[in-house]
A and B are shown apart, each in its own frame.
Chain A
Amino acid sequence: MSSSMEFSQAGSFASAPASTSSEAHASAPNSQQAMWAIEFEKVSKSFGAHRVLVDLDLQVKPGEKVALIGPSGSGKTTVLRLAMTLEKPTGGDIRVFGESIVFDAAGKPLSISQEARIRRRCGMVFQQFNLFPHLTVLQNLILAPTTVLRQSREQAEKSALEYLRMVGLESKVHAYPAQLSGGQQQRIAIARALILKPEILLLDEITSALDPELAGEVLDVVRNIAHEAKVSLLIVTHEMRFAREISDRIAVFDAGRIIEQGPPDKIFSNPESERTRAFLQRVLNH
């Protein structure tokens, strides 16, 4: 897909009236907390005896694009899974626009409905795409709008076609995922996440399962989202050039901690940590 892909609809995404999630969340608790789109405060996560994250502190501003890089197993994907409430932290707190996704106001674990309401502000795209193979592309896109947001089928389909145009796949509307290439599937997965108008988009190694040729078309789509949309991006990636190009800030992970973070140019040209330098040398010389 060429980088000159028609992105007229991306603009409508960027300026889309936040009719679904934003209005519902207009009453953020207090303005100081609400300055972060997402905030991790002393977050730990263990699986049995294995500590994956250790006292993680990370804040992301609304609209900010943050890339998480680091060796495999350093806890990057766990950060995204925690933000999406696919995992519960062992310790610490995570707040989305000031609202905890772990505890309620009384410090008790969130109820299912409270959690569902807050997690609607986040969307996630997975390494393995995770499209629903028994549904067509259109059905994949309208499932959540019709069941979760209770939109009418017509309204959801209209919106689905806009997002399909945005990722350049309107011709595949009635295809099944198995009829598409990996790159096309991932672009559909991105459209499926965007249709819910998330304010925070979590991208988990979205090109790792793809050939370099197919990865390019997916990265083009993300580039355009990053440029056009006001959504905050948390990106776990091994594509260093892409991370450098797209992000406002890079956080380098090692052994469950952020060992260094800063603007891409500084991290790539003048890293402070010896471990960052060693990691970058390994991946860039690969």
Chain B
Amino acid sequence: MKAILEYWPVLAQGLWVTVWVALCIIPGAALGALILGALRLSETTAIRMTAMLVIEFLRAPSALVLLFWVFYALPLLPGMPRLSPLAAAILVLALDGAAYGAEIVRAGIEAVHRGQTDACHALGLSKLQSFRRVVLPQALSQIVPGFGSLARSMVKWTAIVSFIGVQDVLYVGNYIRGQTYNTVAVYCLLAGLYWILTVLCGAAFRAIEQVLPLNRALRAARVSTEAAPQMGATAGAAQ
């Protein structure tokens, strides 16, 4: 173990690359998921079908195959750019996360009561205003916990970037194992590092859950119900 710790600067650098990739792909996937998930519910059949096809296309192959395809095969097609290993990895993992996240977003939006959009319509809000101001803020309370679980998985997905030469924590770990021949200790250390990263990611998403508007409103209602139990019978009657 002591021998391994001698490599801490390079290990820290690898860990930083893993964190950096995760910090790029999780928000990227969130943005993509919001767009794809909303398009998936479009009233226009062509848009809805296209979004569905994109989601299915991205989810079909293994992420590693998709990564190899973008990194090795894409530049062979005419007019296509050769991406750096890091750019290819971020692109593929963010898109893959967006495809899985889109279904979480779709389910979250569909869970918002129809009466909410009826009320928006009756108040004269446009579809976009209704989505942005009413549906999405409520849907986020459904979306964020599910997406948080996906994000924890995405932290672990980052390991595949080492296959195309990105020097993440797994790549560095393999290098140290080659130098020290201490296989058990290296992989225990890697498992521990991924565990810490996923726990931190989960904690971050739980913190986000706390500040979501609907959660805040319901928490306020719980507090006031506890403070005034006689209100309990009537509070929150019909929402």
Contacts and interface: CB of A to CB of B under 8 A. Distances in A.
B30 to A, nearest CB: 19
Interface stretch (A2-10, A31-39, A95-103, A175-183): A175-183
Interface residues of A, number: 38
A112 to B, nearest CB: 8
B134 A132 contact: yes
A180 B225 CA distance: 10
Interface in B118-139: 118-119, 121-126, 129, 133-134, 137-138
B239 interface: yes
A124 B123 CA distance: 8
A143 B213 contact: no
Contact of B121 (A85, A147, A180): A85
A148 B123 contact: yes
Among B119, B216, B221, which residue has the most Cβ atoms of chain A within 10 A? B119
B124 A176 contact: no
A131 B120 CA distance: 10
B236 A178 contact: yes
B46 to A, nearest CB: 18
Interface in B18-77: none
Contacts of A126: 115, 118-119, 122
A143 B235 CA distance: 23
B179 interface: no
A178 B235 contact: yes
A98 to B, nearest CB: 20
B220 interface: yes
A235 interface: no
Contacts of A85: 121
A113 to B, nearest CB: 9
Contacts of B213: 134-135
Contacts of B124: 116, 119-120, 144, 148, 196
A46 interface: no
Contacts of A86: 118, 121-122
A209 B237 CA distance: 9
Interface string A58-97: 0000000000000000000000000011100000000000
A74 B126 CA distance: 30
A119 B236 CA distance: 30
Among B115, B134, B217, which residue has the most Cβ atoms of chain A within 10 A? B217
A130 B116 contact: yes
Nearest to B116: A130
A149 B167 CA distance: 55
Interface in A115-141: 116, 119-120, 122-124, 126, 128-136
Interface in B176-215: 213-214
A121 to B, nearest CB: 10
Which 5 pairs, one residue from A and one from B, show the smallest C-beta to C-beta distance?
Answer: A178-B221, A181-B234, A182-B237, A130-B119, A144-B123
29 contacts: A84-B121, A86-B121, A86-B122, A116-B124, A120-B124, A122-B122, A123-B122, A126-B115, A126-B119, A128-B113, A130-B113, A130-B115, A130-B118, A131-B239, A132-B134, A132-B138, A133-B138, A134-B214, A147-B129, A147-B133, A148-B123, A178-B221, A179-B220, A179-B224, A181-B237, A182-B238, A185-B238, A192-B123, A196-B124
